[in-house]
Amino acid sequence: MDNFELVNALVLISNFVLIPALSYGSQLALATLSLTIIYGVLRFSNFAQADWMSFGTMTTILFTWYLQSLGITGGFLPTALIALPFAIILTALFCLLIDRSVYSFYRKKKSQPIVLMIVSVGVMFILQAIVRFIIGPNDRKFFDGEKYIVHALEFKDYFGLSEGLTIKSTQLITLIVAIIAMVSLFYFLQRTKMGKSMRAYSNNEDLALLSGINPERVVLITWVIASALITTAGVLYGLDKSFKPFTYFNLLLPMFAAAIVGGIGSPIGAVIGGYVIAFSEITLTYAYKKFFIYLLPENLEPSGLVQVLSTDYKFAISFIILVIVLIVRPTGIVKGKII
Amino acid sequence: MTDNLRAPLAFAFMGILLAIVGFTQSWSVSLSIINLCLISSIMAIGVNLQWGYGGLFNAGVMGFTALGGLTAVLVSYDPVYEAWDKAGIGILISAIILISSITLVMFAYRNISSPQFRNTSIVLIIIAALIGINNFYGPSIDVIESINPAKTGFLGGLGLPIVFSWVIAAFVAGLVAWVIGRITLRLRSDYLAIATLGISEIVIAIVKHEDWLSRGVKNVSGLDRPVPYEIELQQSEWFINLVERINYATLNSVQTISSRQELLNDLIIVSSGVFVKLCYLGLFLSVLLLIFYLSHLALNSPWGRMLRAIRDNEVAASAMGKNIFAQHLQIFIIGSAIIGIAGAMLTTLDGQFTPGSYRPLRFTFIIWLMVIVGGSGNNLGSIFGGFFVWFIWIEAEPLSIGFMNLLASGFEYDNPIRIHLLGSAAHLRLFIMGLLLLLALRFMPRGVIPERIQKK
Amino acid sequence: MSKFLSCTNMTGGYGGEDILHSCNIEVDVNEIVVIVGPNGAGKSTAMKAMLGMINLKCGDIILDGNDISNLSPQKRVAAGIAFVPQSMNIFSELTVEENLEMGGFLRDENIQKTIEEIYELFPAMKEKRNQLAGELSGGQRQQVAVSRALMTQPKVLMLDEPTAGVSPIVMDEIFDRIVQIKEMGVAVVIVEQNAKQALKIADFGHVLVNGENRFYGKGNELLTDPEVRKSFLGG
């Protein structure tokens, strides 16, 4: 085995496993942060989360189209990034409307979390209907701007390798936006008075009331932040792949799995969980045949695909990891709320 | 209105709705709706046992339904001997490797005390199992799927009468519920919901993609029937006589022999369809009544009272030394088994198994809606919910289309808004279902037929 | 002239049967009032009523001449009453310092000075300022709980069984601090199971039985009163 083979193998893995997993993981981490914050403050598992993500992404797409029709584009960046802040505001307002008309009733009644969870199923239906009604159930691509940062062919020519490395601009954008979002979220939660009061409310509601923390204010901020996170996650995912309501709905299980694996209610846990699920999904469904062909001598080369699970079972991986965590460490990696 | 009157009134209302369909559309349509209502009611009873009596949220009703459907196929379809001959052994070996590796992993997890040694051995077992399964499984399924792919391409089933599958489906669904329950029921209540959501997606993925098992999205059709075929009926002497006797007056009012014969033929064709549906109705109704009766007995036994005590106050019940976990596990298994039965019945009624048609909305959340609208904690309520919600679900489609037509009527024929509106009618149905759920939870949280408050 | 905080004629309960029957409790600044009595006498209920956490059928709660009977608990906190619940009285997932900051949530001015004052009162808190409150020992948690309540610079401090489940040494320490807090010009109301020790530091004591005032008097008088001793202090 010469060095080129090794480099080729590494490039191959970076191209098909590491980079995609990093960007998918960042998207999932943002979505899971949203889920976990809702869980921590409002104390229920929000089944409408995935369709809420669809809703946010849909609003972004609509704003993008509007901007494009005005002749405003992001240049080499996707126009959706300009549309994003507007979409976040609209999505947050919509969420607050739903909160006022639906959730707040049960919150005031101090209903059990499981009742709120069922209520969120109802909201899920309605969001699904709205999204499908407005933008339809089909695949939408809304990416514009520069597509590649590093192109496979150029990379091959430049380094004289037989494997190419592609870095899509959406992957870099995802990473940068996700880092900005996470850093500002953690700064907010750890350093600002409002953020601390959110954590305090999540930790001990009665004592927060006794300390004069206004619960409705905390709930409002929570919906706004969670809307911002989920919309951003949805837009990044949609830019990277494409937007389709049903595909988004299928992200519900990975989100829950990531939240529980990380420790539900814990923001750091959500980030860790997001990456764990994304990396497992991609590493376990990748066919390593070519990788081993590079690395192993000819007589040992594998005949099959060398794939642990077929991509048909991608979300089964979320589930399997979820089950393992529930058996081995039900509190999650970072200790979350268990009762 | 007193609570005692609610149930009869609710069912009378339902009867009127179905009669309206019978008169305005046709009795055949009405009967089809009733048959699906009966199956839905059974599913709703299963969910109600879990939620209404046990307080457990099962978000994977779809998965248990599909397991029931798969069981119906595997029990009733004739075995494909050629596939068994050529590749059955490979599948069996893969299964043995899978089961023994799971057993070994569990053994290692429980019995090896050194964490390092334990983890390495678990990883080694898994790798060995993967290599082993890869060697047998892949080639075998290729062989199986290549045998007459247009018609079979799978292993087939046991070739038993399909009604057996209803019983077996209960065990299959119960077994899966046992595994899920053991893992999640000790934990907080939403974990069960998330885990069941996951397992149901996996079950669907398996039946969709494992063609050697279920033909996947190519569907298995032509399943065995527990009731006679229309074509057989139309040719049997007794049935023709029966139709003749029932329609004696109508037939006699016809003048010529030839038009009388024509009318009779028409009547026979229509009646044969109705007769088959009535046969199904009889079967389904007996199962529903049996399940209703058995759960009534169970829930009024000390076991059932304990179950409600636990639901109402877990802390107090556990302080009294009740084993909450065991009770929850039992009710979860029983409820899932009932859903499994209903799943097998549904596939029996359809005469085919179509993995692509399993959608969480249709098979999980609608059932939930039935339980909540009907009245959680009351099986009679679930039966009503099964009927009512299914009826709404069926009728929401024409209603949505009608509504959209109304909305679109102001536009030109080729106006894009009109086309969009008409194309979106199906989504209105989603909206109606969601709204119904929210309204029921808000304004009628105890349902149409509420749980009877037990006197202490 | 009534006292700084005077609660008169409180009657009511949690919605079912009345627990309090015309119960009166008064406290003045620079004073410790201890509420003692057998289990189920309505001691904690009386405190919750003073704080507005239960709805009373009748009764007046006058703070510094203002009627606060109809204010919500949060408004009463803003008006100068602080409360330390018996359990779940700290933010366990926040650091000690963050607990204090949350205690001072309603105050707009710089609260750093108050934090420093509290660190002087409880030096152990300063040491553990960046540790999660949930990781501290039982006695230290009580200190965090009291400190959090003090952050609003209350005129009245209410403590529901502050010594429940702590060792005797810690209990003495807590009572010492409470005396110190009183001397800062705070009116202190304590509900206590450890009646003898609490009455030792009390200026006045109320003995509640079945939601009614049975005995009232100076702390040391109650301690020596033969009847009170016999029925409530175990001889």
**Any CB–CB contact under 8 A between C103 and chain A?**
yes
User: Taking residues C150-176, what's their average pLDDT?
Assistant: 89
Predicted confidence band of residue B454 (pLDDT cuts 50, 70, 90): low
CB A231 within 8 A of CB A88: yes
Q: Which CATH superfamily is domain C30-40+72-205+213-232 in?
A: P-loop containing nucleotide triphosphate hydrolases (3.40.50.300)
| Inter-chain contacts counted by CB atoms under 8 A, chains A and B | 125
Contacts of C131 (CB under 8 A, 6+ apart): C95, C96
DSSP code of B228? Answer: -
CATH class of B3-79+156-443: mainly alpha
ipTM associated with this complex: 0.89
Contacts of A81 (CB under 8 A, 6+ apart): A74, A173, A177, A235
Pinpoint the alpha helices (H) of B210-301.
Answer: 211-214, 230-235, 237-246, 248-252, 257-299
Domain boundaries, chain C: 30-40+72-205+213-232
* C214 φ/ψ angles, rounded to the nearest 5 degrees: -100, -50
Predicted confidence band of residue A338 (pLDDT cuts 50, 70, 90): very low
Predicted confidence band of residue B118 (pLDDT cuts 50, 70, 90): confident
At least 3 CB pairs under 8 A between chains C and B: no
Q: Which residues of B touch A115 (CB under 8 A)?
A: 441
C-alpha R_g of chain C: 17
Nearest C-alpha in B relative to A322: B195
DSSP code of C132? Answer: B
Instruction: Work out the widest C-alpha separation in chain A, in whole angstroms.
Output: 73
In tens, the pLDDT along B49-70 reads 999 888 899 999 999 999 999 9
Distance CA C80, CA A176 (A): 47
Task: Say if residue C16's pLDDT is above 80.
Answer: no
Distance CA B410, CA B418 (A): 8
Q: Which residues of A touch B205 (CB under 8 A)?
A: 312-313, 315-316
Distance CA C57, CA C19 (A): 11
Predicted confidence band of residue B130 (pLDDT cuts 50, 70, 90): confident
Tokens of B200: 């149901």
Domain boundaries, chain A: 3-328
In tens, the pLDDT along C77-109 reads 888 999 999 889 999 999 999 999 999 998 888
CB C181 within 8 A of CB C188: yes
Distance CA B102, CA B108 (A): 10
Tokens of B382: 């679930």
DSSP code of C162? Answer: T
Q: What percent of chain C has pLDDT over 90?
A: 35
Task: Say if residue A48's pLDDT is above 50.
Answer: yes
Q: What percent of chain B has pLDDT over 70?
A: 98
In tens, the pLDDT along B162-189 reads 999 999 999 999 999 999 898 888 887 7
- C-beta neighbour count of B255 within 10 angstroms: 8
Distance from CA of A320 to the nearest CA of C (A): 30
Distance from CA of C229 to the nearest CA of A (A): 35
**Any CB–CB contact under 8 A between C83 and chain A?**
yes
Distance CA B348, CA B279 (A): 13
Kindly determine whether residue A326 and residue B187, on different chains, have CB atoms separated by under 8 Å.
yes
**Any CB–CB contact under 8 A between A191 and chain C?**
no
Task: Say if residue C196's pLDDT is above 70.
Answer: yes
**CATH number assigned to the domain covering A3-328:** 1.10.3470
At least 3 CB pairs under 8 A between chains A and B: yes
Q: Which residues of B touch A117 (CB under 8 A)?
A: 57, 190, 193
- Bridge pairing between strands C66-67 and C56-63: antiparallel
**Any CB–CB contact under 8 A between C87 and chain A?**
no
Tokens of A90: 């609209």
Domain boundaries, chain B: 3-79+156-443, 81-155
User: Taking residues B221-237, what's their average pLDDT?
Assistant: 86
| Inter-chain contacts counted by CB atoms under 8 A, chains A and C | 58
User: Taking residues A124-142, what's their average pLDDT?
Assistant: 92
Predicted confidence band of residue A327 (pLDDT cuts 50, 70, 90): confident
**Looking at the partner chain, which of C78, C83, C102 has a beta carbon nearest the beta carbon of A200?**
C102
